[in-house]
Copies of this chain bind each other. A is one copy, B any other.
Amino acid sequence: MMMIDYAILGLLSWKPLTGYDVKRVMQDSPFLYWSGNNNQIYKALMRLLENGFVTNEIQYQESAPNKKIYSITESGMSELLRWVMSEEPEVPEFKKTFLIQLSWAGCLETEKVEELLARYEKIMTQQLAMRREEKCREKNFPNRSKQEHFMWEMIYDNFVMMCEAELCWIQSFREGLEHLKRENKHEPQED
């Protein structure tokens, strides 16, 4: 059982879904960080089935491919709850390619660094708008219990806050750069 198995088990704990449904949810939930590819999802569903944590019911559809609707079992439910409570929370991992890009720009002129920073600020502002919209969409999402609603909203909010923090950092970086520029003017022969 790997992480993705528990993620899927979790989705099924709310309502029965097909593999295709799971795929779609994963694709547009940034916190389910897998790309939502078939290979992992269908394999995970098979693993869950083997372990008896889910069952599937085949819905024959004329004039459309058959559906396999997966539901969580009692055993699956208790396994999920066990995992949720026993797994020690992990510190989040960040993959910030931009930091790598920026870090070696130290030898560039300050203007170039500022340009890079401005470009990053632009895409992060877009990102923030997107996340906010996602959160808003969640508000109007039908067929969700109060709990479910609350969870999704908080999760979207997490990403919103991450974007805001990043933008805040960009600003402080910019101020630091300004400071450095002024210092260099005073003593331009610094080694």
A interface residues with partner B (beta carbon < 8 Å): 3, 6-7, 9-10, 13-14, 30-33, 80-81, 83-85, 87-108, 112, 115-116, 119-120, 123-124, 127, 145-148, 150-152, 154-155, 157-159, 161-162, 164-166, 168-169, 172-173, 176, 180, 183, 190-191
Counting chain B CB atoms within 10 Å of each CB, the highest count among A14, A93, A104, A115 belongs to A104
Task: Return chain B residues, CB-CB under 8 Å to A7.
Answer: 100
Does B13 lie within 8 Å of A107, measured CB to CB?
Answer: yes
Enumerate chain B residues within 8 angstroms of A172, measured Cβ to Cβ. 154, 157
Q: Which of B98, B147, B158 contacts A99 (CB 8 A)?
A: B158
In the bound complex, CA of A107 to CA of B154 (Å): 15
Of B10, B33, B90, B168, which is within 8 A of A94 by CB?
B33
Contact yes or no, B88 A92, CB < 8 A: no
Q: What chain B residues lie within 8 Å of A173 (beta carbons)?
A: 154
Question: A87: which B residues are within 8 A, CB to CB?
Answer: 101
Distance to closest chain B CB from A165 (angstroms): 4
Query: Contacts A84-B105, A92-B95, A95-B92 given: A32-B150 contact, CB under 8 Å?
Result: no
Smallest CB-CB separation from A124: which chain B residue?
Answer: B91
A150 to chain B, nearest CB (A): 6
Q: Is the CB of A93 within 8 A of B92?
A: no
Residue in B32, B85, B102, B147 whose beta carbon sits within 8 Å of that of A100 in the complex: B32
State whether B100 touches A92 (Cβ < 8 A).
no
Structural contact, B91 and A123, CB atoms closer than 8 A? yes
Are B96 and A92 in contact (CB-based, < 8 A)? Answer: yes
Give 6 closest A-B pairs by Cβ, nearest first.
Answer: A10-B104, A165-B165, A106-B147, A93-B95, A89-B120, A92-B96
Q: Are B119 and A89 in contact (CB under 8 A)?
A: yes
How many angstroms between the C-alpha atoms of A75 and B153 in the bound complex?
A: 49
26 contacts between A and B (CB under 8 A): A3-B97, A6-B101, A13-B104, A14-B106, A30-B94, A31-B94, A31-B100, A33-B96, A80-B104, A84-B102, A84-B104, A84-B105, A84-B108, A85-B115, A89-B97, A89-B116, A91-B124, A92-B98, A94-B162, A103-B155, A106-B150, A107-B147, A150-B180, A157-B169, A158-B169, A161-B165
